[in-house]
Amino acid sequence: MSETLESELDQLRALLEKRLKLSGELSESLRRARRHLPHRLRKAADDLVSAEESFAHPRLAAALDEDRLVKKARRLRAYLAELDLKDRRKGRLLDMAATSAFAVLCVIALLVVVLRWRGFV
């Protein structure tokens, strides 16, 4: 494994720890981080996991394209660097609140329509 790829994987490990609070081995952290990643980066994460497992075998390690793996690691690192979990949580809470408020408004509107139709309002 080249120093460039090794440093990229170390930076990925640090970002996974810092941004997503996923500690442990890189392969396990990337597997657990899949649900936080967009679809195009899930494949890159899977490729990095399989490549890390292949580095233990000398013949398989020689067959890997390290430049391609470094590019994938850099794309993944760039995404994780801009990821903000607090903002995501806040967005999810606001989305749930908006959905609940819309449902309450629909029920109230339906209640008014039914009461008017029945002649009570």
Q: Is the pLDDT of residue 1 over 70?
A: no
Residue 6: predicted pLDDT: 86
The reply to whether the predicted model has a pTM over 0.85 is: no
Sign, CA torsion 45/46/47/50: positive
Averaged pLDDT, 17-43: 90
Query: Whose structure tokens read 């890189």?
Result: 26
Contact call for residues 41 and 79 (beta carbons, < 8 A): yes
Longest CA–CA separation in the chain, Å: 83
Residue 3: predicted pLDDT: 82
Residue 62: predicted pLDDT: 87
The torsion angles phi and psi of 73, rounded to 5 degrees, stand at -65, -40
**Minimum mean pLDDT among 3-7, 47-51, 80-84: which range?**
3-7
Total Cβ atoms within 10 A of residue 110: 10
Residue 113: predicted pLDDT: 97
Q: Is the pLDDT of residue 99 over 80?
A: yes
